[in-house]
Amino acid sequence: MTPPRRSTQTPRFNLARVLSRFLLFSTLVLLVSVALKTRSRLALLFSSFSHPATMSYQQERYIAELAVQRATLLTQKVFFEKAKGTVSKDDKSPVTIGDFGAQALIIQAIRKNFPNDEIVAEEEASSLREDKALGAEIWRLVKDIKLEDAESDNLLGGPLSSEQSMLDIIDEGKSAGGAKGRIWALDPIDGTKGFLRGGQYAVCLGLIVDGDVKVGAIGTPNLPVDDSAAIDASTGAQQTADAANGVLFSAVQDEGATSRPLSNGALAASKPISMRPVPNIAQAVFCEGVEAAHSAQGDNAAVAERLGITAPSVRLDSQAKYCSIARGAGDIYLRLPVKKDYQEKIWDHAAGDIIVREAGGQVTDIYGSRLDFSKGRTLAANTGVVAAPKAVQDQVIDAVKVVLKL
């Protein structure tokens, strides 16, 4: 009798079955881990299907927040170093290795995600091409900065390939701006003087579409996470040394403004923010700049007096002022001109403008006109800035007009 052939085939058959089960199992594990890793992006995608009308600019907001967050890792490193590689620009204003490095990292993120968009950024690399030592110092910083969450960091583009590519990317912020198309306005360090003094500063990025600001993200590493933590009125420094610092603000048109703690990796959880109501304007708190050359503090004080405000103004460098009033740590931001012919730069205001408006405020110039971001690299059609809760904006403008004899 012929013996059954089954016995000789069994081991081969089992091996195949074990292998196929192993393959199936590994594929499942891989799929689950990919799904978990990308859950935030999937959630974003699914909600875009369920709320198509409210989903515009969500990816832009996400990338802007992450890019600003990554850049603050670099600025914080420089902030705590004694030598900040400061050089004086043609207009005698300071710029540091922190400004250049943050600009490189943020433009890289915009280029990776929105390659066709234009960029209006404050800095340019010509001085670094001449000063090789400074260029090399910035490159040493930039090449090592990454978010601790690999998925978030990859989204912004991996490390730049060379010092040369870093210089080239810094120079991609030279758009003339204007009334058409998608234009990012970037201030890699706003309040450089505050940054050098140990005060407030902000990393600011806004997206302007056809002349209108649609998205804003601002990182303020030295603002307290706690919305109501006291700030020293004269220096802008937080009064309690042990409280946590570092806040990331953002807004999208018609979708509100949010804040979240700055983190070293993926974005932390956010919460909505809004301006506080001002039932009695005499109780309002003013925010203004620290630098007397940037806004007329005497005129600001005269406006406050006219409104019956007696509390001292809170002085903060940078767009931290917009952020502070947007979360109710202060009510009114006045930037009355020192020189009538100074043209404010769009990167000094784009992100702050939308964050305040989405938090329930109004942002205008001294005449009460909305800031016009369609005129190029400057706010050529505006003079000064007045930001306040919508309900009291007219009252503030009236006082400004009386004081400035407009």
Chain residues binding ligand A3P by CB under 6 A are 93, 122, 187, 190-192, 194, 289, 291, 293-294, 317-318, 338, 342, 345, 348
Complex with ligand A3P: residue 125 or 252, whichever CB lies closer: 125
| Token couple for 339 | 């020189």
Complex with ligand A3P: residue 62 or 333, whichever CB lies closer: 333
Closest contact distance (angstroms) between CB of 340 and Mg ion is: 20
**Alpha-carbon gap, residue 103 to 211, rounded angstroms:** 22
> H/E element holding 244?
none
99 is catalytic: yes
Closest contact distance (angstroms) between CB of 352 and ligand A3P is: 10
**Alpha-carbon gap, residue 176 to 187, rounded angstroms:** 15
Complex with Mg ion: residue 98 or 389, whichever CB lies closer: 98
Closest contact distance (angstroms) between CB of 383 and ligand A3P is: 10
Spatial CA neighbour of 141 closest among 87, 187, 85: 85
| Token couple for 386 | 């007045």
| Token couple for 51 | 């709320």
**Alpha-carbon gap, residue 279 to 300, rounded angstroms:** 21
Closest contact distance (angstroms) between CB of 96 and ligand A3P is: 10
**Alpha-carbon gap, residue 3 to 10, rounded angstroms:** 14
Asked if residue 190 belongs to a known ligand binding site, the reply is yes
Complex with Mg ion: residue 331 or 348, whichever CB lies closer: 348
Name the active-site residue from 72, 96, 99, 299. Answer: 99
Q: Are 250 and 216 in contact (CB under 8 A)?
A: yes
Q: Are 309 and 284 in contact (CB under 8 A)?
A: yes
Per-residue x/- mask for Mg ion, residues 314 to 353, rule CB under 5 A? ----------------------------------x-----
Q: Which residue carries 């007045």 as its tokens?
A: 386
Look up residue 259 and give its DSSP letter: E
| Token couple for 341 | 């012919």
Task: List the single partner that 291 binds among Mg ion, ligand A3P, none, CB under 5 to 8 Å by kind.
Answer: ligand A3P
**Alpha-carbon gap, residue 237 to 223, rounded angstroms:** 8
Name the active-site residue from 72, 75, 96, 192. Answer: 192
Q: Is the dihedral of CA 102, 78, 229, 280 positive or negative?
A: negative
Only one of the segments 3-11, 115-123, 210-218, 361-369 lies at the binding site for Mg ion (rule: CB under 5 A); that segment is: 115-123
Choice from 153, 190, 288, 344 touching Mg ion (CB under 5 A) = 190
Complex with Mg ion: residue 142 or 278, whichever CB lies closer: 142
Task: List the single partner that 226 binds among Mg ion, ligand A3P, none, CB under 5 to 8 Å by kind.
Answer: none
Closest contact distance (angstroms) between CB of 84 and ligand A3P is: 13
192 is catalytic: yes
Spatial CA neighbour of 385 closest among 303, 270, 280: 303
Task: List the single partner that 293 binds among ligand A3P, Mg ion, none, CB under 5 to 8 Å by kind.
Answer: ligand A3P
Closest contact distance (angstroms) between CB of 95 and Mg ion is: 6
Complex with ligand A3P: residue 122 or 172, whichever CB lies closer: 122
Beta bridge partners of 204: 187, 218
Output b/e per residue, 23-42; b: 16+ Cβ within 10 A.
eeeeeeeeeeeeeeeeeeee
**Can you say how many angstroms the Cα of residue 220 is from the centroid of all Cα atoms in its chain?**
8
Active-site residue list: 99, 192
Provide the annotated binding site. 122, 187, 189-190, 348
Which residues contribute to the annotated binding site for Mg(2+)? 122, 187, 189-190, 348
Binding residues (CB under 5 A) for Mg ion: these are 93, 122, 187, 189-190, 192, 348
